[in-house]
Structure 1
Amino acid sequence: MDIELARTFLEVMSVGSFCGAAERLHVSQTTVTARLQSLEEIVACQLFVRNRSGARLTIEGERFVAYATTLVQTWECAKAEMKLPRGRESRLRIGAETSLWNPVLTNWVAWLQEYCPSIAINTDVSDAKTLLTKLEKGFLDAVIVHRPNYFSGFMVEQLLEEKLVHVQVPTKNTPNLFVDWGPEFKAQYDAVLPQPRQAALTFNLGPLALRVMLHSGGNGYFRTRVVEPHLRSGELERVADSPEFTHPVYLVYRSTESCPDLYSALDGLRVVVRENSEWHL
């Protein structure tokens, strides 16, 4: 449907007359009438009742308001997203899970700014399910996640061999903290460890659990790269004879054949993950 039809419909609704809508849209009243007639033919119902005082919505017209508003807003968002900023020749849309934005996504964006200055960058930090859905629908070009999905036409590549290790505060190793690192971790945990995972303190965000433990004491499973500086400083220590669990990081991306900029960007990501950056989350 021509987006101008929806825009004209909303203007008539707003001002309450075809004449007023024509003035605001800088077109003739005949054009407004023709557009509304075309729209009513498309949706197969009457949207306005015209009278001496102007025009009012029918019941069907009231129902159509939400759809017309969504159409216009979506179109405006699409134009804003597609338009490149001055000095940029292309755009990359990349995402990462909340627990991976620092330092992985941060360092990747910094690398792109330095080595690919002509590329406009859109970043998205969210949960894995949301990111993978956006990737599948074409709203993102590449995402960094712990649990990938396998789609036709997409590539899945392991970036890092991360592990989850059992650590504790040396001076106060209680209470037990359980962090939900996903279904694979919970299945492995239940199969290996004798103690139940129904701890007094449970979290679905590792950084929050770590801050609580460092502040108040306790023990739990955390990612190796995140706890490494705390182990070196003595704030934390490994729990002896505790098993380790794998928690790798994956890159999922669309085919690079039609996008050489993405190919270069992914090479940059591989470079930055090999650097020994401090992990803060």
Structure 2
Amino acid sequence: MNLVAVNTFLTIVETGSLVRASERLNVTQSTVTARLKGLEAELGQTLLHRHKSGVSLTSNGFRFRRYAEGMIDLWRQARQETSFPKGVGTVCNLGCHVDLWPGLGRQMLDEIERDYPSAVLSAWPGNQVLLEQWLGTGLIDAAITYRITTHEGQTMHTLGEERLIMYSTRPGHRPGADPGYIYVDAGGDFGRRYTAAYSSEDFARISFGSAVWALEYLMDHDGAAYLPEHLARQALAAGQLHAVDDAPVFTRERYLITSDKAATGWPWLSDVIGRLLQS
């Protein structure tokens, strides 16, 4: 498949018209049109609806867009990695769930950098869905996450449980109805377990899909929330947060998913996993 045509398609989608795409790519509009038609002919599908005001994606265009973005990202990554100077050792492109970067994600990169200073490393934040997609397309070589479906050619390493504890900005806070309570969606079956424990309580007025964001918000407002223990440790030590007595404690597993092909070039993998398990 012609990557120039794929990049042209993405530029049209981003700019919203063939005219603006031609200006950005510094080519004629007829060239942009020819590239798009060639791509659609190769796929046997119409990717864009043409309007007087611009373009819009067809249903097939929506589906193709995700793969097109993956192809361009992989090409950029390939160009970067094949242009490394002599002396470069192992390469690791790590994806990490945003709530795990302050702990395991940062630690993993630090461990590799300390013991293998010639390693080339990159880190990408994402949620569980994105991390699974990136692993599947090869955009990343490994992912630190909570729950993910592994596929052929991938290995799952268990990194132990993480405790989710209710913290409050007010000492002596008791679990129960609280207008300042923030609900943090911890994914998996957390919602079911949380509902069973607090079935009689009012719903939270504010909710977050990231514990990192929730913690940042909590530091500027009075309230309470369930947060990963490792994430709240610093604020707890500084007296900014207080563990809520008698509140149920929940847990969730953490995993490192690795590409088997990439991991063959990682002499550090078993040592790093061992140290992550000790943290």
**What do the CA deviations read for 1:136-183 (whole angstroms, capped 9, x no partner)?**
222222110011213233222221311111122225954111111114
User: 2:251 is matched with which residue?
Assistant: 246
- One of 261, 264, 268 as aligned partner of 2:268: 264
Question: Does 2:91 align with 1:118?
Answer: no
The answer to whether the Cα contact below 8 Å between 2:143 and 2:257 also exists between their aligned partners in 1 is: yes
User: 1:184 is matched with which residue?
Assistant: 189
Q: Tell me the CA shift for residue 62 of structure 1.
A: 5.8
Matched, 1:89 2:89: yes
Identical-residue share of aligned pairs (%): 19
In structure 2, distance between residues paired with 1:137 and 1:197: 42
| 1:157 correspondence with 2:157 | yes
Q: Distance in 2 between matches of 1:188 and 1:84?
A: 50
8 Å CA contact 1:178–1:197 kept in 2: the answer is no
RMSD: 3.7
2:235 counterpart of 1:235: no
Q: Deviations over 1:51-98 (max 9, x none)?
A: xxxxx9499726337779x79967862541331421213422211111
C-alpha distance in 1 between matches for 2:171 and 2:101 = 31
Amino acid at match of 2:109: V
- Secondary structure (helix, strand or coil) at the match of 1:261 reads coil
1:224 aligns with 2:223: no
Say if 1:74 and 1:264 are closer, same or farther in 2 by CA, change over 3 A.
closer
Structure-1 residue corresponding to 2:36: 63
Count of residues in Structure 1 that have an aligned counterpart in Structure 2:
230
1:28 corresponding residue in structure 2: none
TM-score normalized with structure 1 length: 0.67
CA displacement 1:26-66 (0-9 Å, x = unmatched): xxxxxxxxxxxxxxxxxxxxxxxxxxxxxx94997263377
Asked if the contact 1:163/1:245 (under 8 Å) is kept, the reply is yes
Indicate how the Cα distance of structure 1 residues 180 and 15 shifts in structure 2: closer, same or farther if over 3 A, else same: closer
Computing the radius of gyration from Cα coordinates, the structure with the larger value is 1
Q: Note if contact 1:148-1:156 (Cα within 8 Å) is conserved in structure 2.
A: no
Bigger CA drift: 112-121 or 75-84? 75-84
Cα distance in 2 between the residues matched to 1:75 and 1:216? 42
Equivalent position of 1:19 in the other structure:
none
Deviating more after overlay: 208-217 vs 134-143: 208-217
Would the aligned equivalents of 2:171 and 2:242 in 1 still touch at CA under 8 Å?
no
1:212 maps to amino acid: Y
2-side partners of 1:247 and 1:143: how far apart?
16
Structure 1 residues 236 and 75, CA gap change in structure 2 (3 angstroms) = closer
Gaps of 5+ in 1: 17-55, 276-281
